């Protein structure tokens, strides 16, 4: 699978370390900017790492490569997992859920994240889904505007069960015009 000059490959369980290292880089970058969106201890908690590993096993985690270099990762889940149920409650099985989107800082400023989201919308549409959904930290106005600017609609807010993480629930209808 390709996004222009970038290649998208499904991560295997053996790629767990590569996936987590991108998320750790993002966590440290955010923390250094006083954005407490992805605290390292929560990211590296056993339950989080196990969840990522299970998604790798299920072929739902992806690495985005430019040549031999990994530029980004994302997870696209075509059903409501228990993690999303905590946020979204009971929902029809009509959406893909985007998680763990992170672009290595070396690849920042090239709209790779925006292009990945477009790719996910197409994947969701091809899977016959009506919506793409994601949650984002409410206390991060820059990120909230980022997703609004990409055509997502905030359809609610909720406590996630993770201390300090209040989420804005974003949804976008597929197909995209």
Ligand X SMILES: CC(C)(COP(=O)(O)OP(=O)(O)OC[C@H]1O[C@@H](n2cnc3c(N)ncnc32)[C@H](O)[C@@H]1OP(=O)(O)O)[C@@H](O)C(=O)NCCC(=O)NCCS
Cβ contact 94:130 at 8 Å: yes
* Residues 67, 87: Cα–Cα separation, whole Å: 36
* Residues 173, 92: Cα–Cα separation, whole Å: 14
In the three-class reduction of DSSP (H, G, I as helix; E, B as strand; rest coil), residue 42 is classed as: helix
Burial-class residue 80 by CB neighbours within 10 Å (0-12, 13-18, 19+): buried
Q: Which of residues 128-147 bind ligand X (CB under 6 A)?
A: 136, 140, 142-143, 146
Among 8, 24, 36, 37, binds ligand X (CB under 6 A): 37
Looking at 6-14, 40-48, 88-96, 100-108, which segment touches ligand X (CB under 6 A)? 100-108
Among 3, 18, 24, 35, binds ligand X (CB under 6 A): 35
Q: How far is the CB of 17 from ligand X (least distance, A)?
A: 18
Q: Which is nearer to ligand X, 56 or 71 (CB)?
A: 71
Write a three-state SS string for 15-34. Answer: HHHHHHHHHHHHHHHHHHCC
Q: Residue with the closest Cβ to ligand X? A: 113
Q: Which is nearer to ligand X, 24 or 35 (CB)?
A: 35
169 touches ligand X by CB under 6 A? no
Phi, psi torsion values for 151, nearest 5 degrees: 90, 10
Looking at 39-47, 89-97, 111-119, 152-160, which segment touches ligand X (CB under 6 A)? 111-119
13 touches ligand X by CB under 6 A? no
């Amino acid at each position: 699978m390709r996004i222009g000059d970038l290649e998208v490959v499904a991560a295997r369980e053996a790629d767990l370390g590569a996936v987590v290292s991108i998320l750790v880089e993002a966590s440290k970058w955010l923390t250094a900017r006083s954005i407490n969106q992805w605290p390292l201890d929560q990211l590296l908690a056993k339950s989080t790492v196990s969840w990522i590993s299970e998604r790798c096993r299920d072929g739902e985690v992806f690495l985005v490569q430019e040549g031999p270099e990994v530029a980004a990762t994302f997870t696209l889940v075509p059903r409501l997992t228990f993690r999303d149920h905590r946020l979204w409650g009971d929902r029809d099985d009509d959406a893909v859920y985007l998680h763990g989107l992170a672009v290595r800082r070396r690849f920042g400023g090239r709209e790779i994240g925006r292009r990945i989201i477009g790719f996910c919308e197409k994947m969701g549409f091809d899977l016959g889904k009506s919506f793409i959904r994601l949650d984002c930290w409410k206390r991060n106005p820059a990120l909230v505007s980022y997703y609004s600017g990409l055509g997502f609609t905030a359809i609610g807010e909720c406590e996630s069960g993770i201390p300090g993480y209040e989420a804005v629930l974003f949804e976008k209808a597929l197909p995209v015009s």
